[in-house]
Each structure stands twice: as C-alpha cells, then as structure tokens.
Structure 1
Amino acid sequence: MSRILVVGEDTLCCALGERLVAACLPDWQLAQPSIDTKGVTKLQPSLPRYLSLARSLHPVLCIADTDGQCAVELRAKWLPQAHERFVLRLAITEAESWVLADRQGFAQALEVPLNKLPQCPDEESDPKRLILTLVKKSKIRQFRDEVVSSADPSKPGTGYNLHLGAFVRGQWDAKRAVEHSPSLGPVNAS
C-alpha cells in the first residue's frame, strides 16, 4: 500500500489534508500522524526538509493558508524547486474557506442556516471570523460555548480546533467543497 505524509500549517490544515488523502487516494494511508508545524513561520523554513523527504522516501502533501497573499507568488517563493512527489496546496485566504466550501455539510454538522454560508468562501476576507459569526447562531449550545471564545466573541474558543477538526475528519466532503472553492480545485499547470 502506498503511503503519504501530510504536513499542515495548523491542526485544521492537517485535518483537511488527511480528508483530502482519504477522498482522492482511498487506497493510500498516512505514513505517520500528520505534522502540525503550529504556524507558517515554522512551516516555511521546513519546506526544503519535506521536499527532500518527498524525493527520497514518500510523497508529501502540504497544506497552508495564503493569508491574503498571492498563491502563485507564495508558491514560487516557498518552493522554487518543485517536485512531482511534493504537493503544496494553498487555501485562499485561510483553510477555513475550504471548511466553509462544503456548505451543506457545514450547515448540517454545526446546525447553522445554509443560506448564511457564502457561495464562494475563497472571496471572504476573513473566513475564520465568518465561522465564528455563524457558530454563534448554532442551534447547538456546545458549539456556541466551545467554538467561540466567551471572553472575546471575535476569537476562537477552546473547542474551535476540536469541533472543526471533527467535522472535517468525519463529515466534510471534498467533492461538495470543490464546487464552491476554486483554490481547492485542480491546480492549473500553466
């Protein structure tokens, strides 16, 4: 059985990477638990190491946010030497846009109104803040209490990664999501 390593900027990126592997490469398995670099400032300098690993051992899928920067410029800056066994996918603007892109799944799982979800979450300037705004209105109190900080409703709560990660790993559908997120779709080779 083929193996792949998933590397993510944060826990949500790791969860999305795992789910993408499961959806797109169902006969593959993870080489080891996903590597959460705990931020882009730690991810970016480690890319040469992961690229070397992809060349010598097994493929690597790396997921990160663009944080509003141009994805093409970031890719060229971070990965001047591409390799077919190293896949760098950049979510526009944040990985949360990919989470929101499965509109139906997100609305059902977090019990929020489907009509409040954007048709194209890649165009949202702050997808994380949108998730917090939506979850504040969830029908499930546990989500309202744990996903959104009680001290500052504009910040994630202690259960943010737990609940969003559980949604991604258990219910998020890449096929539905790609319909609403161009940055999640196939990479243009030109």
Structure 2
Amino acid sequence: MAKPLEIALVVEDVLSLVLMEKVLAHTGRGYTVLRPLVERGVGNIRKSVPKYVSASRALPHVVLADLDQMRCAPLLRQQWGVAKLPDSMLFRVAVRESEAWVLADRAGFADFAGIPVIKVPAAPEALADPKQELVNLVRRSRNKRLAAELVPVQGSAVSIGPLYNERLGQFVRETWDVGAAMANSPSLERTFSRLQSFMA
C-alpha cells in the first residue's frame, strides 16, 4: 500500500473544505490533511500565495479558490502569479464557486433538497451565481425545515441561512456522489485528475 500523502489544504470556506476532503478520499491515494486552512475569502488566499509556495517545500500544499466573476481559470492563475508553481504545490479553481460542485450531483442534491431533479441545472458551472441558485432551489423545497436552515430570512443582509454550512457539509459528507458530480462539472473532474497524479 502506498504511503499516505500528507498535505496542507487551503480553501476559502467550510463548504470547500468538506468538498475537498471528500474528493481527496475518493482518489484512494491515502491523502492525510495535516493542516486545513480555511481562509475566509478569496482575497486572503490571493494575498498568502507566496507564503504557501514557500511552505509547500516542507509540506505539499493543495489550494482551492473560486473563480467567482473572473473570466476564466487561466486568467486568474496569470493575475495571481500561479501559472508556474513548484511540484509541491497544486492550485485548483472551482468554476464559478464550490456550490457548482455541490449542484453537479443532480440526483443527490434533488433528493436532499426535496425538489424534482429536472429543476437542478445540468451545467452548474455555466451559472453566474451557483450559490444564489442553490439557495433559490432550496427556497422552493417541500422541506420547510431545510429551507429555514439554508435560506436567509426575507430582508436579511446575509446571503445564506443560519445552518447553511452545517447542513450542506452534512450532505456532502454523507450523500454527495463525487463520480456523479464529475460528469456535470469539468473543473471538479480536472481537480480530481490532478489529485490522482499530484506528488506521485
């Protein structure tokens, strides 16, 4: 059996962390996350890139950032100065944000949200705002308790409900199907492929 690969994992938010932990496990390579770093926003990740590059020489780093409103991943890499990185650092981009990966398991998400699968977008990476789409889908759910947990109160200044990360994190850990999601999410499929060969 291959020696477990110990890494630092850098993400923007709790949901991204849970998603990446599931994807890492799905590779079957025995990844062990020694340092999970939730940076609370893409700006903090961008600012810290030089620090990660340096630290990756001691402990390999896997970094996931959301594309958000940037035109494409190659442009983001160029602007961030991560077009060329040491072999010990893997930089991946979720298009447009990690919620697109959640929605990409269409049948799983439809079951979780209590909505018909036909309502879940077939190409979640083409959405301008996957998080807003996810919240809107749950808003129409038959499961009123889930809607109260994930959807913000009308007129609220926040964009998500009070238990958004907890309930979506639970869905990802227990039900979300990486293989099914990869079929509808090219950026997830590319990330999985790179994780299979990283530091091999």
Q: Considering the TM-score relative to the shorter chain, is it more than 0.5?
A: yes
Structural mapping, 1:41-190, within 5 Å? 41-57=43-59, 59-69=60-70, 70-78=72-80, 79-152=82-155, 155-186=159-190
In 1, Cα distance between equivalents of 2:155 and 2:165: 17
Q: CA deviation at 1:156?
A: 0.8
Q: CA deviation at 1:161?
A: 1.2
The question of whether the paired residues in 2 share the 8 Å contact of 1:17 and 1:61 is answered with no
Residue 57 of structure 2 aligns to a residue whose secondary structure is: helix
**Partner amino acid, structure 2, of 1:44:** R
In 2, Cα distance between equivalents of 1:142 and 1:129: 19
Q: CA deviation at 1:91?
A: 1.1
Please report the TM-score for the alignment, with normalisation by the length of structure 1: 0.90
Runs of 4+ that moved beyond 6 A = none
Residue 56 of structure 1 aligns to a residue whose secondary structure is: coil
**Partner amino acid, structure 1, of 2:91:** L
- CA offsets 1:150-187 (integer angstroms, 9 cap, x no match): 13488211111111122122221211111001121226
**Partner amino acid, structure 2, of 1:54:** S
Residue 115 of structure 1 aligns to a residue whose secondary structure is: helix
The question of whether the paired residues in 1 share the 8 Å contact of 2:74 and 2:83 is answered with no
In 1, Cα distance between equivalents of 2:45 and 2:115: 33
Identity %: 35
Gaps of 5+ in 2: 195-200
Gaps of 5+ in 1: none
CA RMSD of aligned residues (A): 2.0
Residue 165 of structure 1 aligns to a residue whose secondary structure is: helix
**Length, aligned pairs only:** 187
In 2, Cα distance between equivalents of 1:31 and 1:53: 13
Q: CA deviation at 1:129?
A: 1.1
Q: CA deviation at 1:144?
A: 0.6
More displaced stretch, 146-155 vs 70-79: 146-155
In 1, Cα distance between equivalents of 2:132 and 2:31: 34
Residue 55 of structure 1 aligns to a residue whose secondary structure is: coil
Please report the TM-score for the alignment, with normalisation by the length of structure 2: 0.85
